């Protein structure tokens, strides 16, 4: 079993839809949680960065962390075709020296 599980999709939604992306994890020591967006043939771009449990909102993006359930989510409101990309979750322990990534979810937003 992988430390971080992420549904690879592909996920296809119409423009304007609310998108929900999720990851589960098994390591209870993870404290820092990130979401990255990766366009084809580009490096991952940091979208959201949260510490411990709770919600964080940035524009159309909301990140949620539920440490009791070992479950994190990224919500995208009013999705746009430009949101079409692969979304990667990542997490790390407080004193760890590496980020552990999910395998990524491929999202397509149809105009």
Residues that bind other proteins (CB under 8 A): 32, 34, 36, 41-46, 49, 88, 90, 92, 94-104
Q: Which is nearer to other proteins, 34 or 74 (CB)?
A: 34
Q: Which is nearer to other proteins, 45 or 78 (CB)?
A: 45
In the complex, minimum distance from the CB of residue 6 to other proteins, in angstroms, rounded to a whole number? 8
Write the DSSP assignment of 42-98 as a string of letters: S--EEEEEEESSEEEEETTEEEEEETTTTEEEEEESS--GGG-EEEEEEEEETT-SS
In the complex, minimum distance from the CB of residue 4 to other proteins, in angstroms, rounded to a whole number? 9
For the record, the structure tokens of 81 come out as 């075709």
């Amino acid at each position: 079993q992988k430390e971080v599980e992420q549904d690879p999709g592909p996920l296809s939604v119409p423009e304007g839809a609310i998108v929900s992306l999720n990851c589960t994890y098994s390591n209870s020591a993870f404290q820092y949680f990130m979401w990255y967006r990766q366009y084809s043939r580009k490096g991952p771009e940091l979208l959201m960065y949260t510490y411990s449990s709770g919600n964080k909102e940035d524009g159309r993006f909301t990140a949620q962390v539920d440490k009791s359930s070992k479950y994190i989510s990224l919500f995208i409101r009013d999705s746009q075709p430009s949101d079409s990309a692969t979304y990667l979750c990542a997490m790390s322990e407080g004193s760890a020296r590496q980020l552990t990534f999910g395998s990524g979810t491929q999202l397509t937003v149809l105009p």
